[in-house]
Amino acid sequence: MNLLQLRKMMLFTAQRMVESEPELTALDQIVGDGDHGIGMKRGFASIIELLQDEKFQPTDIGDFFIKIGTKLMTSMGGASGAIFGTLFRTGGKSIVNTMELNAEVFAKFLNDGWQGVYQRGNAEPGDKTMVDALSAASKSANELTNLTLNEALPIIAKSAMEGAEKTKQMVAVFGRAKNLGDRTIGHMDPGAVSMAFILKYMNDYIHMQ
C-alpha cells in the first residue's frame, strides 16, 4: 500500500470513527466520564480535514502516521488524545523513510506504538484499557509478517476486537472507571473498542477495493 492508498484508507477510517460516536459515548456513559465518543469524534473529524487538505503532503508512511498522531493529540485533548496520539506518533517514528505499508511494516508500527503507549501511561494487558485491543493486535501482527497486508489485516482486526471483548471480564484500574470497581465487569472498555474499530475500518476499506 502506497501513500495515496493509505491516505484514502485513513480517510474512510476517520469517517467511520466519527459515525461511531454514539456507540462509543454509550459505552463510556456506563464505565467512564461519558465523553470518550465525543473526543474520538473531534479527533477524527480533524483527521478528515487534514486528509482533505491538499497542503498535507507527508514525505513517507512514517511521517504520515506521525502527523496523524499529532493532529489527534492537539484536537482531542484529555487522556484519550494523548494515548491515541502517542500510538500513531511513536509507531510512525519507527517506520520513517518507509514508502510501502505491508504486513511487516504494520506489525512494527503496532508494536512500537504499543510500547510508546505503555511508556506514557503504564497500562498493561488486563488493565481494561485500549492496550487490551492494541496488544492483541500487535501479537497477532507479529505472527503474520509473511502474509500480504490484505491477508493479515482481517486477522489483526479480529484479534483486536477479541481483545476489546475480553475487557468485559476485567475490573478497571485507570481513570474514573477505577472508582466503579467490580461494577465495570460486564462492560467493554470504550478505549479498547475504539482501538478495535480503527483496525476494523482499515480492514473494511482494504477489502472494499
Q: What does the DSSP assignment read for 40-96? A: HHHHHHHHHHHHT-TT---SSHHHHHHHHHHHHHHHH-HHHHHHHHHHHHHHHHTTT
Residue the block writes with cell 497486508: 149
At residue 209, the pLDDT reads 83
At residue 44, the pLDDT reads 98
At residue 33, the pLDDT reads 82
Q: Mean per-residue pLDDT for 129-151?
A: 97
Are the C-beta atoms of 119 and 113 separated by less than 8 Å? Answer: no
- In 71-102, which positions are buried (b, 16+ CB within 10 angstroms) versus exposed (e)? bbbebbeebbbbbbbbbbbbbbbbbeebeebb
Are the C-beta atoms of 37 and 29 separated by less than 8 Å? Answer: no
Q: What whole-number distance in Å separates Cα of residue 98 and Cα of residue 146? A: 18
Q: What whole-number distance in Å separates Cα of residue 54 and Cα of residue 44? A: 17
Dihedral angle computed from the Cα positions of residues 174, 180, 182 and 186, in that order, rounded to the nearest 10 degrees: -90
Grid coordinates given for 125: 494487558
Q: Could you tell me which of 44, 69, 60, 72 has the C-alpha nearest to residue 6?
A: 60
**pLDDT digits over 104-129, tens only?**
999 999 999 999 999 998 999 999 99
**pLDDT digits over 28-81, tens only?**
998 888 889 999 999 999 999 999 999 999 999 999 999 999 999 999 988 899
DSSP 56-67: ---SSHHHHHHH
Q: What whole-number distance in Å separates Cα of residue 189 and Cα of residue 184? A: 9
At residue 6, the pLDDT reads 97
Grid coordinates given for 164: 476489546
Residue the block writes with cell 493532529: 71
**pLDDT digits over 147-171, tens only?**
999 999 999 999 999 999 999 999 8
**pLDDT digits over 174-205, tens only?**
777 777 777 788 999 999 999 999 999 999 99
At residue 193, the pLDDT reads 97
At residue 151, the pLDDT reads 97
Q: Mean of the per-residue pLDDT values for the chain?
A: 95
